[in-house]
Structure 1
Amino acid sequence: MATVGQVIKCRAAVAWEAGKPLSIEDVEVAPPKAHEVRIKTAASGVCHTDWAYLFEAGKGMQMRPFPLILGHEGAGVVESVGPGVSKFSPGDKVIPLFLPQCGECECCLSPKTNLCTKNWTKTQQGVLADGTSRISCKGRQVYQFIGIGSFSEYTVVLDTSVTKIRDDAPLDKVCLLGCGVSTGYGAALNAAKVEPGSSCAVFGLGAVGLAAVMGCKAAGATRIIAVDINPNKFEKAKVFGATEFVNPKDHNKPIQKVLAEMTNGGVDFSLECVGDVAVMRAALESCRSAWGTCVIVGWTELAELTLAPYDLLLGRTLKGTYFGGWKSVEGVPRLVDDYMNQKLLLDEFVTHTLHIDQINEAFNLMTRGESIRSVIKME
């Protein structure tokens, strides 16, 4: 390709500072260095976490360095590779991964976790292995959100933070497997290990929560109670397998007591997909003592969770999950295959398809509760 080894000028949505709308800018994307892959982004989902790091920085979320290109739920085509890259070639369809899988660290070698420690600290700060980003704008380095930055027409990622997928996969759909759908779906299957015939409660019906509902159904749960304060979400939740809907605003008692009464003592499994510590505690208290399992899926960083030890001493299990427990490089292509074989829903999550110029409208749709997932197309 004519661009190999050259700086590529393209457009990206740049966050110049926390709390301000994104700005569409002309940026420069440098060629990949050793063990890096440059990707032409085709599409990117807009995740609530992107919004949170922009508008809750220093509050619910830790401050990231700015200027910053957000986006971590992308899919695209390899444009070029750096020295030492052997698993990818120009033209490959790929999904970049905010959770790497190097295959060599202690975590990657353990079947007990899907975490990976290689370059973790650096990518969390928006840089690659050498401590710098490959994207610049107006003479300034622009950081890449968790080592990706998919709100850009081109980006560069580490070769341990990308996975190759099948050629016939639609990139504007499978991009959702880069974060939200994989996280919620895996939370039910891999973390909670929902059992056939069980009862479940899913708190929060955004994309992650709806994917958790879908995971509960896939695992064979009999009762799947969807919990949200937006009644418009229930019809969508039915599509993914919810059997009942509860709006906490419709009751004058704590939601955990409502659920306990509905289920004769509590659900077998509860999944918190909001990222709010009050909801986390309610989710724990809504599951049955003796064997109930509560999985924290929603992301928050600076808030503190307080619990009554009694709620654990009688046998409940409280656990968290990251990226749904999938070992990313191996797991995401299998999820793509499941979608292509009609074993997993993706199209139903997409409520809006927008252009990169409309990125701020995607955030507005999210905050107004009018979207499940907006997908940004780059062309």
Structure 2
Amino acid sequence: METCEESTTIGKVITCKAAVAWEPKGEFVVQDVQVEPPHAMEVRIKVTHSSLCRSDVFFWANESLAHTFPRIFGHEAAGIVESVGEGITDLRPGDHVLPIFTGECRECKYCASPKTNLCSKFGVASLETGMKSDGKSRFSVQGKPISRFLGSTFSEYTVVEYAYVVKINPAAPLDKVCLLGCGVTAGIGAVRKIAQMEAGATVAVFGLGTVGLAVVKEAKLQGASRIIGVDNKASKADEGKRFGITDFLNPDTLNKPVDEEIRELTEGGVDFAFECVGNPNVMATAFESCQDGWGTTIVIGVAGRATVTIPTRYLLSGRCMKGTLYGGYKPKTDVPELVEQYLRKDLDVEEFITHNLPFTRINEAFKLLLAGDSLRTVLHFDDIIR
């Protein structure tokens, strides 16, 4: 068995460090894990940077999924291809890549359609335990299988199915463009591709985390005339204004429901409401905040299998609600161009990075996220001590 320090690891089991969650809501244990070589149409990636996303928190805290623990979380990351499995011809060791949580086969009717970024063969990567090909994990600790979660990037090495790996320009700094693997892209795409917002539109953004602020920033760039930020954390007011909100509402301090306040401020409701929290009650409130006739609610937040209740009379009056996964972007088709936009300085992700921490301080990073004291914390894997 080879270790990460060996010069040749291709085709061999690698022992490296990973942050293992042994139970829901439990602290991460940074320990040795074994990572198998990639099977056919799989890629083993040396992860260089991984940022923390609220989706990791949602599933880490979900006690109904206790059967999937122990588990390696993480999905918003960047790295370098270490080896590829049989059948892969357009990726090779040394390529710089982003693992993306949703796939693209480029063959099914969804991939052929410009109307969606869904894929019938490779939808969202495994949320349960193993790979789509055989249902098994490529991780273990002393022979005990460790469940995957999407890309499982809280590990020095991970194995990902080919459809979820995007090759990018090696000139792009991996500690920055790792953010394009989830939240920032979801927010940008929700405005650009899903809303297709016209200049002068009025907007309400529910939840001013990374996704919500990405919406705010892009809405401002698209010429929105009014951007109302909604969050129950008072400190988000100044942060939201830095990104472009014109008004800030804290539902906990209002004398009336926030949707009523929004309708009064906008004389009938906003043109677009973006839900970036993942709460069905907030989704309904966002819908109530919209203008009759054309008001559109766009749901970005992850809420599992929760149900949203909305009055049908508003549907009949012309309001609508849309959902979006990854901002509507097709990973292999669209993401390389987003990286190029970053390199041309047409797209900025750096202002979303509030903290940089060594990978071994992952528990500290999670505490910052849970407290709402960070946007994106980028974990660096170069601190591992042998």
Question: Which of 14, 20, 41 is 1:14 aligned to?
Answer: 20
User: Which consecutive residues of structure 1, in runs of 5 or more, have no partner in the other structure?
Assistant: none
Quick one: which amino acid aligns to residue 250 of structure 1? T
Quick one: which amino acid aligns to residue 102 of structure 1? C
Deviations 1:50-107 (A, max 9, x none): 111111332xxx6661221000101001111111111111111100011001111221
Q: How does 1:187-336 map to 2 (within 5 A)?
A: 187-336=190-339
* 1:142 CA displacement: 1.2
Q: How does 1:132-211 map to 2 (within 5 A)?
A: 132-146=136-150, 148-211=151-214
Q: 1:53 is matched with which residue?
A: 59
Residues 129, 149 of structure 2: 8 Å contact kept: yes
Question: What TM-score comes out, normalization by structure 2 length?
Answer: 0.94
**Distance in 2, Cα, partners of 1:368 & 1:86:** 44
**Distance in 2, Cα, partners of 1:122 & 1:247:** 35
**Percentage of matched positions with identical amino acids:** 47
Residues 232, 251 of structure 2: 8 Å contact kept: yes
Residues 53, 63 of structure 1: 8 Å contact kept: no
Deviations 1:264-316 (A, max 9, x none): 11111110000111111110011101011110111011322111111211100
Q: How does 1:68-83 map to 2 (within 5 A)?
A: 68-83=71-86
Q: Which moved more, 1:97-106 or 1:130-139?
A: 130-139
Q: Which moved more, 1:295-304 or 1:279-288?
A: 295-304
Question: Which of 349, 353, 364 is 2:352 aligned to?
Answer: 349
**Distance in 1, Cα, partners of 2:22 & 2:376:** 24
* 1:122 CA displacement: 6.8
Root mean square deviation, CA, Å: 1.5
SS of equivalent residue, structure 1 residue 19: coil
**Distance in 1, Cα, partners of 2:141 & 2:212:** 36
The alignment covers a number of residue pairs equal to: 375
Does 1:26 find its partner at 2:32?
yes
Quick one: which amino acid aligns to residue 24 of structure 1? V
**Distance in 2, Cα, partners of 1:301 & 1:63:** 15
Does 1:365 find its partner at 2:368?
yes
Question: What TM-score comes out, normalization by structure 1 length?
Answer: 0.96
**Distance in 1, Cα, partners of 2:170 & 2:25:** 38
Residues 76, 153 of structure 2: 8 Å contact kept: yes
Question: Which of 33, 40, 43 is 2:49 aligned to?
Answer: 43
* 1:116 CA displacement: 1.2
* 1:37 CA displacement: 0.8
1:64–1:279 Cα change, 3 Å? farther
* 1:111 CA displacement: 1.7
Q: Which moved more, 1:229-238 or 1:135-144?
A: 229-238
Residues 271, 295 of structure 2: 8 Å contact kept: yes
Deviations 1:178-223 (A, max 9, x none): 1010111111111122211111111000111111112212322121
Q: 1:4 is matched with which residue?
A: 10
**Distance in 2, Cα, partners of 1:48 & 1:69:** 15
**Distance in 1, Cα, partners of 2:314 & 2:342:** 38
